[in-house]
Structure 1
């Protein structure tokens, strides 16, 4: 899906959505293809890296053959030097949902970017853009002084938000202080002004693998990516002149290979770092998912279980 969109509000009629979530290398793409073929679903990418043209191997982007078999949306919509925000993702995703409603089909959102799923399901807290230097300064202070010190500062400017956070929740403390610094208003106040969530009925599923098996799959998949040209793809991105500090260029795998291409690490070191960071990323994704309400955990390669859930979901009258 590419091109200008002006749709800024959710579809007016209740819509059914399917979310296939999960950590990296958990088999989401193959499961999505099986479900889409069985139920005539249309796949909507919810992976932040697959949005970008030129980042194909490292993002495990669906092949052209797969895209011909099942309709796919939100792949290759922009270039690395034109970042795609979560707010923009929500806007375009809601347009796709509205289009699917009109055609009588159900969208299947597939990916590992938790913020994108949240943006689709409930929108985002809309706050003015802020100088990235503010976030960076607060992050440095947190690392230097300790997050409990900044939590005390947050209690002074946004006691409602601070009461919901632990003293070591650096990410959310940082966000709260950054919003107050940039806007002069507490983040909790911005959150209270958020519009009600769209009228969506959502089935959420995620494959659950034993940790060691998942980590082995991550290592195997990265080795396969290297065999299929990931190093060459990373080299082409550098040759194209893209700034390494762009969000897309910081994606796991690419970010670790760039130093090797610049002569700063050996290839073995780069590969080891990429695998390690992929495992860390999977751990963060699992932490996010464990907090996701109404999520159905699937067994590894749980095609039959997912098929049963989707069949019940689509047949149930709203």
Structure 2
């Protein structure tokens, strides 16, 4: 098989703090591969510690595409990710290398593999009206409205996820249809490509929780609070923006606002990370064709390489 005929695509997934990035970097060293990040927080510049973004030394060894794309005051949609990811996959293949997509944003993985619906664009008037309602009623009330109209979509959205709640209600206002119906019509995903799906995860929930707590503590020792302080000092940033609602950033922002003590902020950041991992695992367990690798297995790199090589035969 020539490089131009190789349609393998490695999807290396896992809950937060599971060790998937380290495995991806090991595979780059053993395969002629390149990494594409699938992380909705790593796309933002100046958000390095709290997103566990690979540092300059790591990037020199294993460059990551699709990080540092946006200023934290800007937005980045799943549709933009799909377009960018497709471009990077084509570039990597044209260079004769194997694309390895790794990250924890299930929305991005789903949008890429399953396709996107033909959804309406932004409507600032509708968004302004929804934002005004949220100011009065709260986003939880708007989430409840969405749940009544489209339970399937609402079940996948956290009641505090203002951006996605607003988007789903905007779609209904503009089309008169439920988002789940529009999504079901879908556009082409990755049909015809050989997907090698692998999930890296600790063997037990307790082990995952320990890893999450240890990583959050490490981030704090590396200067996460200082990183958030710099963002907090910017007049153009607040908690309404998707970037600042990222796990860890939101909780420490509340510390700097005086709404939480530092200890409470750290504790809530760890809890939010565990809740994120639970949501990630719910989706990952639905993938019937995924190969699961235990985080603490010393043979993971060899096992993953064998799975990838087998897909190429």
How far is 1:140 from its partner?
A: 1.4
How far is 1:141 from its partner?
A: 5.6
Counterparts of residues 262-273 of structure 1 (less than 5 Å): 262-273=257-268
Consecutive unaligned residues in structure 1, runs of 5 or more: 1-11, 155-161
How far is 1:146 from its partner?
A: 10
1:15 to 3, 7, 10: 7
TM-score normalized with structure 1 length = 0.82
Asked whether the equivalents of residues 31 and 303 of structure 1 are also in contact (C-alpha less than 8 Å), the reply is no
Distance 2:156 2:87 in 1: 34
Asked whether the equivalents of residues 116 and 189 of structure 2 are also in contact (C-alpha less than 8 Å), the reply is no
- The aligned counterpart of 1:200 is 193
Counterparts of residues 40-55 of structure 1 (less than 5 Å): 40-55=32-47
How well do the aligned residues superpose, as a CA RMSD in angstroms?
2.8
After superposition, the Cα gap between the structure-2 partners of 1:241 and 1:34, relative to the gap in structure 1 and judged at 3 Å, is same
2:60 to 68, 71, 74: 68
Greater shift in the superposed pair: 196-205 or 130-139: 130-139
After superposition, the Cα gap between the structure-2 partners of 1:13 and 1:80, relative to the gap in structure 1 and judged at 3 Å, is farther
Asked whether the equivalents of residues 146 and 168 of structure 2 are also in contact (C-alpha less than 8 Å), the reply is no
Distance 1:73 1:170 in 2: 27
1:213 to 207, 229, 246: 207
After superposition, the Cα gap between the structure-2 partners of 1:170 and 1:117, relative to the gap in structure 1 and judged at 3 Å, is closer
Secondary structure, aligned partner of 1:32 = helix
How far is 1:314 from its partner?
A: 3.1
Is 1:140 the counterpart of 2:141? The answer is yes
After superposition, the Cα gap between the structure-2 partners of 1:230 and 1:177, relative to the gap in structure 1 and judged at 3 Å, is closer
1:59 to 48, 51, 57: 51
Deviations 1:93-134 (A, max 9, x none): 000111112111111111100011112223211200353455
Asked whether the equivalents of residues 50 and 59 of structure 1 are also in contact (C-alpha less than 8 Å), the reply is yes
Distance 1:266 1:191 in 2: 42
Counterparts of residues 152-171 of structure 1 (less than 5 Å): 165=152, 169=155, 171=157
1:225 to 215, 219, 228: 219
- The aligned counterpart of 1:236 is 230
How many residues are matched?
291
- The aligned counterpart of 1:291 is 286
- The aligned counterpart of 2:256 is 261
2:241 to 231, 246, 256: 246
Secondary structure, aligned partner of 1:206 = strand
Consecutive unaligned residues in structure 2, runs of 5 or more: 159-164
After superposition, the Cα gap between the structure-2 partners of 1:317 and 1:22, relative to the gap in structure 1 and judged at 3 Å, is closer
Asked whether the equivalents of residues 114 and 186 of structure 2 are also in contact (C-alpha less than 8 Å), the reply is no
- The aligned counterpart of 1:82 is 74
- The aligned counterpart of 1:313 is 308
